[in-house]
Amino acid sequence: MGAAGDRQNHGKKPCAHLAFLASGAPEAEESRQRLIEKYGDCPPEEADCIVALGGDGLMLRTLHRFMDAGKPIYGMNRGSVGFLMNQYRETGLRKRIAEAKPSIIHPLLMHAVNVRGDEFSAHAINEVSLLRQTSQIAKLRILVNGQERLPELVTDGVLVSTPAGSTAYNLSANGPILPLDAPLMALTPISAFRPRRWHGALLPDLAKVRIEVLEAAKRPVSVVADHDEFRDLAYVDVVMDHATSLILLHDAGHSLEERILREQFGY
């Protein structure tokens, strides 16, 4: 995770130029037009801050789209769950953005190879998940930093999660919630059959995780990195990409760090 100094320095410059993006839902598009009339609009490449109007899906797509731009993203909920978003309000937007708390997150970088030797790479802000493709249960071998840690996991799948994504699919699979600034990744099985008592592991965010597919022809496995899916895997490598920093802005008292902490207490 980013250092405290990063949190203090990002997102504090005046946001004179805003770019508004919407999810495509009617409510989000109507809100975008009203906000453009009030604050103006500029191309995202020229903006000081990008304002995303929609739900968490739009926020993830926006973060992926501008992953290398280094621009702060301020989301307002015009979707359903909106865990990553701020409350929608049209007044005082520039002041809210100027006073917002930045959260610095790093994505996972996945490198996958399929049974034909084709190679694929993708980033994941939430998690990289491996899932069985057919009725045949998956058999996986797990290595951490080149050392075998689990010779055979018989399961529906397994995932590697960032702290920011630990309240998403990871939590639904009974994985641990990670504080945003914890230098950790969660390795969590999905409906594990053997070994039954293995509930996952917490790994340093400098670790390299390799997941190999055993009996790949009989038990095909796919991998999903947020929205990108690749099938018929041979193996997957996952690391935290510390060279890439994403900046999310949240209103004071409602930071991403605070929201994740609240999830641990069930409210």
The model's pLDDT over 188-207, given as tens digits with 9 standing for 90+, comes to: 999 999 998 899 999 999 99
Same domain, 145 and 219: yes
Determine whether the annotation assigns residue 40 to a binding site.
Answer: no
Same domain, 198 and 135: yes
User: 226 and 139: one domain?
Assistant: yes
Give, rounded to a whole angstrom, the gap between the first and last alpha carbons of the chain: 24
Whether residue 255 is annotated as binding a ligand: the answer is: no
**CA–CA separation, 94 vs 221, rounded Å?**
46
Q: What is the mean pLDDT of residues 99-124?
A: 97
Task: Supply 187's token pair.
Answer: 């390795």
The reply, when asked if residue 168 is annotated as ligand binding, is yes
pTM above threshold 0.85: yes
Measured in whole angstroms, the distance separating CA 240 from the mean position of its chain's CA atoms is 11
Give residue 2's pLDDT.
36
CATH number of the domain bearing residue 212: 2.60.200.30
Centroid of chain to Cα 215: 30
Residues in contact with 112: Cβ distance below 8 Å, sequence separation at least 6, in sequence order: 119, 120, 121, 122, 223, 230, 233, 235, 236, 237
Q: 43-88: per-residue pLDDT in tens?
A: 999 999 999 999 999 999 999 999 999 999 999 999 887 899 999 9
| Strand 233-240 versus strand 18-22 pairing type | unpaired
- Active-site position among 6, 41, 48, 56: 56
Consult the annotation and say whether 172 binds a ligand: yes
Same domain, 85 and 123: no
Q: Who contacts 154 (Cβ-Cβ below 8 Å, separation ≥6)? A: 137, 138, 139, 192, 193, 194
Averaged pLDDT, 130-154: 98
Q: Is position 156 annotated in a ligand binding site?
A: yes
Q: Is 16 annotated for ligand binding?
A: no
Q: Are 101 and 192 in contact (CB under 8 A)?
A: no
Which amino acid does the sequence have at 86?
N
Same structural domain for residues 25 and 98? yes
**Per-residue pLDDT, 10:** 45
Q: What separation in angstroms does the CA of 189 have from each of 46, 178, 185?
A: 42, 16, 13
Query: Is 46 annotated to bind ligand?
Result: no
Residue 53 tokens read as 């109007």
Which H or E run contains 4? Answer: helix 4-9
Q: How many domains does the chain have?
A: 2
What pLDDT does 259 receive?
A: 87
Q: Is 233 assigned to a binding site?
A: no
Tell whether 228 and 130 lie within a shared domain: yes
Are 141 and 69 part of one and the same domain?
A: no
For the range 171-180, what are the long-range contacts, defined as Cβ-Cβ under 8 Å and sequence gap of 24 or more?
Answer: 171/263, 174/199, 175/200, 176/200, 176/202, 177/260, 177/263, 177/264, 178/202, 178/260, 179/257, 179/260, 179/261, 180/1, 180/103, 180/105, 180/256, 180/257, 180/260
Q: Tell me, what DSSP letter sits at residue 45?
A: G
State the amino acid at position 129 in one-letter form: S
164 annotated binding-site participant:
yes
> Do both 116 and 101 map to the same domain?
no
- Kindly state whether residues 128 and 176 are assigned to the same domain: yes
Q: Domain residues for 53?
A: 4-106+245-263
Among 74, 125, 118, 111, which Cα is nearest to 255's?
74
Instruction: Please confirm, yes or no, whether 251 is among the known catalytic residues.
Output: no
User: What is the β-pairing status of strands 18-22 and 49-54?
Assistant: parallel
Residues comprising the chain, all counted: 267
Report the pLDDT averaged over residues 91-106: 95
* Residue 7 pLDDT > 70: no
Q: Which CATH number belongs to the domain containing residue 252 in this structure?
A: 3.40.50.10330
Are 255 and 172 within one domain? no
Write the pLDDT tens digit of every residue in 146-184: 999 999 999 999 999 999 999 999 999 999 999 999 999
> Rounded to an integer, what distance in angstroms lies between the CA atom of residue 242 and that of residue 163?
13
112 & 230 share domain: yes
Whether residues 229 and 176 fall in one domain: yes
Share of the chain above pLDDT 70, in %: 94
CA 183 to chain centre: 15
Task: Give the CA dihedral 221, 222, 226, 228, nearest 10 degrees.
Answer: 170
Tokens 């994504």, located at residue = 165
